[in-house]
């Protein structure tokens, strides 16, 4: 075991402080109540258990045993209500299945009616209700099923009927408004001076005037159609959506009907499960092209080129209004207004300006919008698989990792650190914002024995800059693991968190480990010893992004268990904050004993050079925090 000089006087004779005295006298505080606010649904059998991913301990009662969890978790994980709540918690609505889509709509409407609707609390309450009052739980699910059945969308036909053109729709609307007459009577023409139509012209109608394929308005319509394809989940990546949108427009220009386009898309994509989405996209494209052709045929002079500066969202909304409008004159007026606005925007020259000449306050606003838009960054470990699983969130992508897993892009949690590479001045001004104003969520590896924190996700050079951290640890007891294993793990990375002000500790465990506390206590001792003494420590996930991050870690752990075993044996859940808080009271007096602040810099690192103790006169006071030469 490597020797660590604590830099503090020995405290073996000191009696451990109680938790109450520590919370009132020290700058470090632990949460005394880890429960979220009361349920917005008033007093109910499930209101007493809101606020935990795992069922509540219920005061002095022992933790739930294995039989209780198998009886509670199994029904909740398979019923439609629980699936809808989990999808709403992860913000991943269903795109397939009529019942799942209707269930998501019921939950969405409930969220609109009550903003204090707590999804994690409802999930926890359902589990507790299944144990205490199973009849009430079944009645609750039956009410949800009834609401779902009342909102099931109608089944879409495989090939929808041909859509009537806008001109025919306008004529039909005018016929509906006309007074009732004899069926054999004909409607008077709009223009009394118009010449009668000959039989030859009636049998051979003039083909509609098409907008030139290379017209800028058609190019803008292709972009709007690509956005529509993405929203309909027909194609899930932007490049493919744009290619597919251009192909759809080419099919309509070649004379294909809407049914032919739907059949061609089904044959091209080879997915029989997205028939309704393909039909909706084809219908939307057909209506939009008809509206553009009508506007172009009525007044080609006013059908001017669309400005390149028009927003894509404005193009989409304009195209939807054109497709849904029943009157060709209204469509023409909307086209005129949009092109006039585009011409006005195009007339304004785009003048570049020097960003560094802006006031410092405005530059900081730009930095915050780019580097800390959400206030949190979640880091998940890298898994190299053939189906394309990459780093979900990463601050500094590694080139070797990109080559090994084939990833060509990285999602940065809304954070855009590319601005740091513009120039040295911007880097110096903005680098601290990304570290100081974001809560970084990371997982600690306590059983691999290599590194506690993954350096690909969070390099060591970034640790001294972090101010807020959420640490998720796997606290499962494993056979053969003793106290010596945890003491020899490379916890030195936590000593580099010298600027840390807030730490949220979360632990996950298996169902079979609910009655053991050794691993949890050992991990807490090692972590508390190495964080700054002034750091505020809390337990259990509370914020929405923290609950989501912990749930992703739980899902990943369950996936690994299911991959190794043919039968699911253990349920993985988050340890309650009260349990961790009670265990942490044993090691409160040790917090900061081995942190980077208390390290004696007269001792060089053992792995670099072995030398005798440096004289105090040769110690640079700048290296010691708060040090000064007397």
Per-residue H/E/C for 147-197: HHHHCCCCCCCCCCCCCCCHHHHHHHHHHHHCCCCCCCCCCCCCCCCCCCC
Render pLDDT for 44-81 as a digit per residue (tens, 0 to 9).
444 444 444 444 444 444 444 444 444 444 344 567 88
* Contact of 530 with 6, CB cutoff 8 Å: no
The better pLDDT of the pair 590, 1 is held by 590
Would 411 be classed as within a structural domain? no
Would 293 be classed as within a structural domain? yes
Same domain, yes or no, for 113 and 252? no
Same domain, yes or no, for 454 and 587? yes
Question: Phi-psi bin for 93: left (phi > 0), alpha (psi -120 to 50), beta?
Answer: beta
Check whether 387 has a pLDDT greater than 60. Answer: no
Domain residue limits at 96: 47-150
Q: How far apart are the first and last CA of the chain?
A: 36
Same domain, yes or no, for 108 and 236? no
Percent pLDDT > 90 in the chain is: 0
* Contact of 436 with 465, CB cutoff 8 Å: yes
Query: CA 94: distance to chain centroid?
Result: 15
Check whether 166 has a pLDDT greater than 70. Answer: no
Phi, psi dihedral angles at 256 (to 5 degrees): -75, 145
Check whether 500 has a pLDDT greater than 70. Answer: yes
| Range 16-36 average pLDDT | 43
- Name the range with the highest mean pLDDT among 209-213, 311-315, 552-556: 552-556
Same domain, yes or no, for 128 and 244? no
Same domain, yes or no, for 561 and 442? yes
Would 36 be classed as within a structural domain? no
| Range 272-285 average pLDDT | 77
Q: What is the 3-state secondary structure (H, E, C) of 311-358?
A: CHHHHHHHHHHHHHCCCHHHHHHHHHHHHHHHHHHHHCCCCCCCHHHC
Same domain, yes or no, for 460 and 549? yes
Angle, vertex CA 111, rays to CA 106 and CA 112, nearest 5: 100
Same domain, yes or no, for 473 and 605? yes
Last residue of a domain, one of 106, 122, 150: 150
Same domain, yes or no, for 128 and 243? no
Would 481 be classed as within a structural domain? yes
Closest CA to 289 of 220, 241, 365: 220
Would 93 be classed as within a structural domain? yes
Same domain, yes or no, for 448 and 591? yes
Least confident of 209-213, 470-474, 527-531: 209-213
Same domain, yes or no, for 244 and 143? no
H-helix or E-strand containing 508? strand 502-510
Contacts of 127 (CB under 8 A, 6+ apart): 49, 55, 72, 73, 76
Same domain, yes or no, for 457 and 561? yes
pLDDT at 528: 87
Would 487 be classed as within a structural domain? yes
Would 290 be classed as within a structural domain? yes
What are the tokens at 388? 């394309």
pLDDT at 310: 38
- Name the range with the highest mean pLDDT among 18-32, 480-494, 520-534, 599-613: 520-534
Percent pLDDT > 70 in the chain is: 52
pLDDT at 56: 46
Least confident of 229-233, 333-337, 398-402, 510-514: 398-402
Query: CA 25: distance to chain centroid?
Result: 39
Last residue of a domain, one of 125, 150, 175: 150
- Give how many domains the chain has, as a whole number: 3
- Measured CA to CA in angstroms, residue 37 lies from 40, 45, 57, 218, 367 at distances of 9, 16, 18, 53, 34
Last residue of a domain, one of 285, 319, 347: 347
Same domain, yes or no, for 118 and 240? no
Would 183 be classed as within a structural domain? no
Residue corresponding to tokens 């400005």 = 307
* Contact of 80 with 148, CB cutoff 8 Å: yes
Mean of per-residue pLDDT scores for the chain: 66
463 burial (CB, 10 Å; 0-12 / 13-18 / 19+) is buried
Render pLDDT for 210-263 as a digit per residue (tens, 0 to 9).
778 778 888 888 888 888 887 776 777 777 788 888 888 888 888 888 888 888
């Amino acid at each position: 075991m490597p020797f660590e000089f604590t830099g503090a006087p020995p405290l073996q004779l000191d009696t451990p402080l109680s938790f109450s005295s520590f919370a009132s006298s020290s700058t470090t505080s632990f949460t005394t109540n880890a429960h979220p606010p009361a349920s917005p649904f008033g007093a109910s059998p499930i209101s007493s258990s809101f606020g935990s991913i795992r069922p509540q301990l219920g005061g002095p009662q022992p933790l739930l045993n294995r039989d209780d969890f198998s009886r509670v978790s199994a029904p909740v994980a398979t019923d439609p209500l629980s699936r809808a709540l989990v999808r709403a918690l992860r913000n991943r609505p269903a795109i397939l299945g009529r019942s799942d889509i209707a269930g998501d709509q019921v939950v969405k409407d409930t969220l609109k009616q009550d903003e204090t609707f707590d999804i994690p609390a409802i999930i926890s309450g359902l589990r507790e209700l299944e144990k205490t009052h199973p009849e009430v739980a079944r009645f609750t699910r039956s009410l949800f099923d009834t609401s779902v059945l009342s909102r099931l969308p109608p089944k879409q036909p495989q090939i929808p009927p041909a859509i009537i053109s806008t001109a025919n729709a306008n004529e039909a609307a005018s016929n509906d408004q006309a007074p009732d007459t004899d069926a054999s009577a004909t409607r008077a023409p709009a223009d009394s001076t118009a010449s009668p139509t000959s039989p030859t012209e009636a049998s051979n109608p003039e083909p509609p005037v098409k907008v030139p394929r290379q017209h800028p308005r058609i190019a803008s319509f292709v972009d709007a159609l690509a956005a529509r394809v993405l929203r309909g989940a027909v194609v899930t990546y932007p490049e493919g959506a744009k290619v597919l949108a251009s192909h759809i427009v080419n099919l309509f220009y070649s004379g294909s009907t809407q049914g032919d386009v739907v059949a061609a898309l089904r044959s091209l994509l080879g997915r029989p499960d997205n028939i309704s989405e393909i039909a909706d996209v084809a219908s939307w494209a057909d209506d939009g092209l008809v509206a553009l052709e009508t506007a172009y045929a009525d007044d080609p002079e006013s059908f001017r080129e669309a400005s390149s500066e028009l927003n894509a969202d404005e193009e989409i909304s304009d195209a939807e209004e054109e497709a849904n409008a029943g009157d060709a004159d209204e469509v023409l007026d909307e086209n005129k207004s949009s092109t006039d606005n585009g011409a006005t925007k195009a007339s304004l020259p785009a003048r570049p300006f020097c960003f560094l000449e802006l006031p410092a306050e405005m530059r900081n606003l730009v930095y915050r919008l780019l580097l800390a838009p959400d206030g949190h960054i979640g880091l998940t470990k890298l898994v190299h698989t053939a189906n394309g699983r990459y780093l979900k969130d990463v601050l500094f992508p590694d080139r070797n990792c990109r080559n090994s897993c084939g990833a060509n892009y990285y999602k940065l949690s809304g954070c855009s650190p590319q601005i740091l590479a513009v120039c040295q001045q911007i880097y110096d001004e903005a680098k601290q914002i990304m570290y100081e104003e974001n809560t970084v969520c990371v997982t600690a590896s306590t059983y691999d024995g290599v590194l506690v924190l993954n350096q690909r996700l969070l390099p060591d050079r970034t640790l001294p800059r972090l101010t807020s951290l959420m640490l998720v640890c796997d606290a499962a007891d494993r056979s053969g693991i003793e106290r010596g294993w945890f003491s020899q793990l490379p916890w030195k990375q936590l000593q580099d968190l010298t600027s840390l002000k807030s730490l949220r500790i979360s632990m996950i465990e298996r169902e079979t480990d609910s009655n053991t506390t050794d691993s949890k206590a050992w991990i807490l001792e090692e972590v508390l010893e190495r964080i700054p003494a002034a750091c505020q420590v809390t337990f259990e996930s509370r914020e929405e992004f923290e609950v989501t991050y912990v749930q992703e870690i739980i899902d990943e752990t369950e996936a690994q268990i299911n991959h190794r075993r043919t039968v699911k044996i253990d349920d993985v859940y988050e340890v309650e904050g009260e349990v961790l808080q009670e265990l942490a009271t044993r090691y409160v007096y040790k917090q900061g004993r081995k942190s980077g602040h208390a390290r004696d810099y007269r001792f060089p690192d053992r792995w670099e050079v072995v030398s005798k103790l440096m004289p105090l006169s040769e110690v640079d006071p700048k290296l010691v925090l708060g040090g000064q030469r007397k």
